[in-house]
Amino acid sequence: MRPWRMAVALVAWLGSGLAACSLLESFDGYTGGGGAADVAIDVTTDVAGDAPPGPGDGGDGGGAGDGSPMDGVVDAPPSPVVGHLAVFGGMAPPTPDASALGQPDASTTPTAVLIAPIHADGTLGAWSPSTPLPANDAVWAAAGVVGNAHLYLIGGGNPTETQSYDHVIAAAIDDAGGVGPWAPTTPLPLSRGAAPAAFSAGYLYVVGGDNISQGQGPLGDTLSAAIAADGAAGTWNASQSLPTPLFVPAIASDQGWLYVTGGAGPASSYAYGTSAVISADTSGGVISTWSSQPSFKSGRYAHASIAHAVAGGHYLYVLGGTTAVATADASIGVFLGDVQFAPIHGDNTIGAWQYTQSLPSKTFGLCVAAFGDYLYIIGGDDETHTLADVSSAHIRGDGSLDPFTAAPPLPEPRVLPSCVAY
């Protein structure tokens, strides 16, 4: 699927509210007590605001010498394996012939679950297949989560953007870092895709999304389910709704709190996305209040977000995505390549947002994972094609990133995949 068509596919989930918005050109997880009515989400964009470093600008990535052989020098042993990175779900592009004919249904939803070892120095080893997804659970715009030593794939839709699913499946992580057989667990009470999910303190959470099967969306509800010791999900219960319904926001969890970033809101704000950040305490598995946090620069959706702790503290990240810029005739979609981060304070509020090293290219529909002192980005769509690219960046003590460097690519490109590190 060509990049503009992929963006149009996302817009198709949004309904007819974008009739005046053309996205056919270069697209480039609180304080205070109110309920939903107390939190106003800004759906404006700030694309022309403070300029982040340009994609691909930052540094030379070091170097490994001139490669000349040296007598008597013994190669260093490989860095030990300390973790694993898993990629599953998403959508792969169609064949060139189908793409040229404009057939979005020719895109595929891969069943392959891919695992790469994470070495102590942050590098990745080769990708290898693990137990694949069941064919009827291979979907795109689903949410992938790791928790209680299990992987979960939640919701999603079919490649033709005509049906959403309520499926929730789980697979145990084995001692070698692979996954065992996938098995269904308690389904969602309402089918949905483009709804992010997170694991926090023994519960799974799902927020927002879109039920394209029934023409509902964006959605504003929040669901939670307790996870048993064997990985099975309990009954899904409704928690406090989002202040504004959101499609393709991103979610992150940290120390028992959820942070929801960005997303596309109702009606005319679909194409622009919001720059709002909201947070909620997950104590007891029920969200009672969403609270506003400082907004990042430039509204967006189909971006990636993650919270992660390093020696210097806990940080929240927002990466890439898509938004729109208004023109005299319409709104032109743009892909984003910036990376922003903010500190998470001891009271679980966040501080001011800062730009750090940009992505290698402007990308939407990417996924992000973190392990140790490294951040990993995988797949997505840039301005020309769907990506199989994988890159990593060292996280400094102050939360900023060193330049991204290339890691072993996926065997096939994927947009809106799920990825987790454990």
Which amino acid is located at 79 in the chain? Answer: S
Q: What is the mean pLDDT of each run of 10 residues along the chain (422 residues)?
A: 42 38 29 33 39 46 42 67 97 62 62 97 98 90 96 92 92 96 97 96 96 85 96 96 95 98 76 90 91 96 97 97 74 88 98 98 97 98 93 98 98 96 98
Strands 150-154 and 183-184, bridge-based pairing:
unpaired
Q: How far apart are CA 338 and CA 53, in angstroms?
A: 7
Instruction: Find tokens 């009739």 and name the residue.
Output: 19
Give the CA distances from residue 310 to residues 155, 257, 399, 407, 412, in Å, rounded to whole numbers and listed in that order: 31, 17, 7, 21, 31
What was the pLDDT predicted at 26?
29
The residue written with tokens 């967006």 in the block is 300
Enter the tokens of residue 349: 């509020």
The pLDDT of residue 99 is 42
Q: Which residues pair with 274 in a beta bridge?
A: 300
Determine contact, residues 172/157, Cβ cutoff 8 Å: no
Which pLDDT value is given to residue 268? 53
Q: Which two tokens stand for residue 275?
A: 């720059």
> How do residues 287-345 score in pLDDT, each as one tens digit?
989 999 999 999 999 999 999 999 999 999 999 999 976 666 666 778 999 999 999 99
The one-character DSSP state at 409 is P
Residues 6+ apart with CB under 8 A from 380: 320, 363, 364, 365, 366, 367, 386, 387, 415, 416
The owner of tokens 């060193």 is 402
User: Position 33: which residue type?
Assistant: G
Look at residue 299 in the predicted model and tell me its pLDDT: 93
Q: How many CA atoms lie within 13 Å of 81's alpha carbon, on the beta-carbon side?
A: 14
Per-residue pLDDT tens for 98-157? 444 444 445 789 999 999 999 999 999 999 999 999 988 888 899 999 999 999 999 999
8 A C-beta contact, residue 359 and residue 378:
no
Write down the pLDDT at residue 89.
95
Q: Go through the domains of the chain in sequence order and give each one's CATH number.
A: 3-53+82-421 (2.120.10.80)
What is the C-alpha separation between 6 and 91, in angstroms, rounded?
10
Cα distance between residue 232 and residue 107, in whole Å: 31
Please name the residue ranges forming H helices in 149-212.
Answer: none
Beta pairing, strands 390-394 & 405-407 = antiparallel
The predicted pLDDT at position 270 comes to: 55
